[in-house]
Amino acid sequence: MARKSLPPKKTVPEPVTAGWDAAGDLTSPELYLNRELTWLEFNRRVLHEAEDERTPLLERVKFAAIVSSNLDEFFMKRIGGLKQQVGAGIQNLTVDGRTPRQQIEECYAVVRELGERKRLLFGELLTLLRPAGIQILGYSEISARERKDLRDYYIRNIFPLVTPQSIDPAHPFPFISNLSLNLLVTLRYPRERETSLARVKVPVGAGIPRFLRVGDAHRFVPLEEVMQHNLDLLFPEMEVVACEFFRVTRNANTERNEEQADDLLSMIESELQDRRFAPIVRLEVAAGMGAVHRGMLAAELELNEAADVFEVEGMLALRDLFEIAGLGYPELHDPPHHPVDHPRLMTDRNIFHVIRDAGAILLQHPYDSFATSVERFLFEASEDPKVRAIKMTLYRTASDSRIIDCLVNAAGNGKQVAVAVELKARFDEAANIRLAERMEEAGIHVTYGVVGLKTHCKVILVVRQDYDGLRRYVHVGTGNYHPGTARLYSDLGLFTSDEAMGQDATELFNYLTTGYTPRRNYQKLLPAPKHLKRALLARIEREADLHSEKSPGLIQFKMNALEDADVVAALYRAARKGVRIDLLIRDSCRLRPGVPGLSETVRVVSVVGRFLEHSRIYYFRNGGDEEYYIGSADAMKRNLEYRVEVMAPVEAPELRKELRTMLDVQLGDRRSAWDMQPDGGYVQRMPGEGDDPRGSHEILVALAEKRRKAGARLKKKKARGVVRRPVR
């Protein structure tokens, strides 16, 4: 029987309505949830997917790895930033009334609770994997012959990469790299009492797996255990008194002042070096480490032993379970998903003719193929002799991306190519620097966005010489131009040849390539930071003003996070006037739904399932004259005020119908959806009698396949001449 979700956890000690005035005061801290705590609450939901028996076994392993990876990033980014604030003596309260130190303390309590749940889960998964033929074993659990074979493999393939480092008065404490797994080895010479210490890094990565296969079966021993039991290779004729495991996490917040940098590229490269040596924010030690060594490590790493050291029962660095999750057992995974060709694009016709005839095409990834839509768009643009220019933004992409090849090819074919590369895309800076250098060498005009702002929007502009003059073709997306994540993330994209949007895209790229900020006129696109926030607040207020019993107001937002306090306050005001508000929020949400007299008409739903929810949709009923927008921006202060973002209207009735279906499917999900409670906790929905037991992702996969089949039938009819294309 499926495990049921845990009851919602109380996140504030005061009653929800304490301290606020129903007549108008929306400044009370009790009305706003904490960003960090709500993000950790999201990871409870991800962890539940690993605990839920309805989830296929290797998918459960995958979710366990995702949670561990998420928490690593949380310490690097969020805890790292909070510690910087504490170090700088900042005592400013967040909108929810917490100091930086309070946030760290409360987050630590949640992280320790999640750690205990992960420990129990890992043991359960190991037990369940064994009957399936997958085993993660201790070194002592394998036979003597297998130990010999594993030792031989280790000597040939890994041992030359291992470097022991002494820790004593003659040697400074060694540099410990971020997220590295390490052995702390206590040694002594035979017949001597005095001991010494050495640190040995476990060389996972660059082709070295964490889990070493035993024989031909799916039986594995963690690399650190193999190293632990073969320390005689590193320390011959020494007595190994103890071997203890530890792992560190470093702060990733090392941004410098961009406005004072003469060369942004050099500044980012220097910043990456800074990050490598950034202060350590967390020390994880395997259970059983001696108190002396634990204290020594904490002191050397300049950590508070009582607060910043996390003792882990069982295996450290569960993020490496991705290796196990990727094993080829189809029956232990979700049914295979193959993105389908968009029905409009199931043709050999020039893609620009298809877009021009359609007016606009809505893409839903990963249900619609990224390769046969966005990549095809760029490929044909690079080859089409009538294309004069290609301009695009690049935030994250794969190092071997076909997109870069298309851009290089376009430049080689004599087209004007301009790319705004965001060098400050966290954890992708080095990759983006390499891609920028490659594109510049190919003659592409590369810029690095606007000083002081991250370029986060996802836009491609293609200028083509059509039969009636220059025409602009635009793609606006919610996700990165990354072929890998396009198969894992739920995103939207819009192709359009709309003249006004083409003019707006031209205006946007002129801004990105010059940084000049005089008034720019946008007819349809809503860019941040100049226009988007003001436009959102105005539309929320308009919805409240138009609301009536005969024409009830309706606002529906779908996004990753709702953090901006001004947007939350505006939604509260609209809700108090009776506007119904549906919020599909993946992770962080400051707003409390269902508070009497404040947000009774608001519901907040989080969908956690097979794909990572990443699309952004903003819907306003607008008295019956509906508005739909899609784009790159979450309702977060950083997105609305410190990033270049773009929201685009979806105007065609048939495309709005597709968005309506997506919203309705997710709001009606009875398998993967969670309802937020007023206190910030969540309760997972369970399908009742007569409910569709499938999650929204499975339903949307089926709908995409249905669209594909309908498109294929139409294509056959056209081929037989049953359907004639209008003459133009």
Mean pLDDT of 478-485: 93
- In this prediction, residue 252 has a pLDDT band, given cuts at 50, 70 and 90, of confident
- Residue from 608, 614, 651 nearest 629 by CA: 651
Residue 1 has pLDDT above 50, yes or no: no
Of the residues 218, 365, 456, 697, only one is catalytic, namely 456
Render pLDDT for 351-400 as a digit per residue (tens, 0 to 9): 999 999 999 999 999 999 999 999 999 999 999 999 999 999 998 888 77
Q: Is the dihedral of CA 501, 502, 503, 509 positive or negative?
A: positive
Mean pLDDT of 516-542: 92
3-class SS of residue 568: helix
- All residues at 6 or more sequence positions from 8 whose CB lies less than 8 Å from its CB, including other chains: 677, 679, 680, 681, 682, 683
The rounded mean pLDDT for the chain is 91
Give the pLDDT of residue 425.
60
Find out whether 725 and 389 touch, Cβ atoms under 8 Å. Answer: no
- In this prediction, residue 16 has a pLDDT band, given cuts at 50, 70 and 90, of low
Residue 723 has pLDDT above 80, yes or no: no
User: How many other CB atoms sit within 10 Å of the CB of residue 321?
Assistant: 27
Q: How far apart are CA 281 and CA 458, in angstroms?
A: 33
Helix (H) or strand (E) holding 146: helix 144-157
- In this prediction, residue 198 has a pLDDT band, given cuts at 50, 70 and 90, of very high
Binding site, residues? 70, 396, 426, 489, 586, 614
Helix (H) or strand (E) holding 115: helix 100-129
For residue 407 the two structure tokens come to 């851009």
Give the pLDDT of residue 426.
65
Give the pLDDT of residue 4.
40
Residue 663 has pLDDT above 80, yes or no: yes
Render pLDDT for 260-294 as a digit per residue (tens, 0 to 9): 445 555 655 555 555 565 789 999 999 999 999 99
Find out whether 294 and 305 touch, Cβ atoms under 8 Å. Answer: yes
3-class SS of residue 673: strand
Residue 3 has pLDDT above 80, yes or no: no
Peptide bond into 174 cis (omega under 30): no
- Angle between helix 376-383 and helix 351-358 axes, rounded to 10 deg: 120
Residue 712 has pLDDT above 70, yes or no: yes
Q: Which residue has the tokens 């993660």?
A: 136
User: Which pairing describes strands 239-250 and 458-466: parallel, antiparallel, or unpaired?
Assistant: unpaired
Mean pLDDT of 113-132: 96
Per the DSSP assignment, residues forming a β-bridge with 364 are: 492
Find out whether 283 and 306 touch, Cβ atoms under 8 Å. Answer: no
Q: How far apart are CA 416 and CA 444, in angstroms?
A: 8
Helix (H) or strand (E) holding 362: strand 360-365
Give the pLDDT of residue 111.
97
Give the pLDDT of residue 109.
97
Mean pLDDT of 409-438: 85
End-to-end CA distance of the chain: 61
Q: How far apart are CA 383 and CA 409, in angstroms?
A: 8
- Angle (CA) 660-480-398 rounded to 5° is 140
Residue 34 has pLDDT above 60, yes or no: yes
Give the pLDDT of residue 5.
40
Residue 727 has pLDDT above 70, yes or no: no
> What does pTM read for this prediction?
0.91
Residue 21 has pLDDT above 80, yes or no: no
- State the alpha helices, DSSP H only, in 442-549: 499-514, 532-546
Percent of the chain surpassing pLDDT 70: 92
- Angle (CA) 519-523-526 rounded to 5° is 80
Q: How far apart are CA 431 and CA 399, in angstroms?
A: 7
- All residues at 6 or more sequence positions from 24 whose CB lies less than 8 Å from its CB, including other chains: none
- Residue from 623, 619, 631 nearest 662 by CA: 619
What domains can be seen in the chain, in order of their start residue?
29-129 (1.20.58.310), 133-262+278-325 (3.30.1840.10), 343-524 (3.30.870.10), 527-693 (3.30.870.10)
The 8-class DSSP code of residue 368 comes to B
Q: Note if 293 is an active site residue.
A: no
Give the pLDDT of residue 515.
80
- Residue from 586, 532, 581, 544 nearest 562 by CA: 586
For residue 148 the two structure tokens come to 């010999």
Residue 616 has pLDDT above 70, yes or no: yes
Mean pLDDT of 562-584: 98
Q: How far apart are CA 251 and CA 269, in angstroms?
A: 17
Residue 62 has pLDDT above 50, yes or no: yes
Residue 203 has pLDDT above 90, yes or no: yes
Peptide bond into 483 cis (omega under 30): no
For residue 253 the two structure tokens come to 């917040």
Give the pLDDT of residue 19.
46
Find out whether 77 and 253 touch, Cβ atoms under 8 Å. Answer: yes
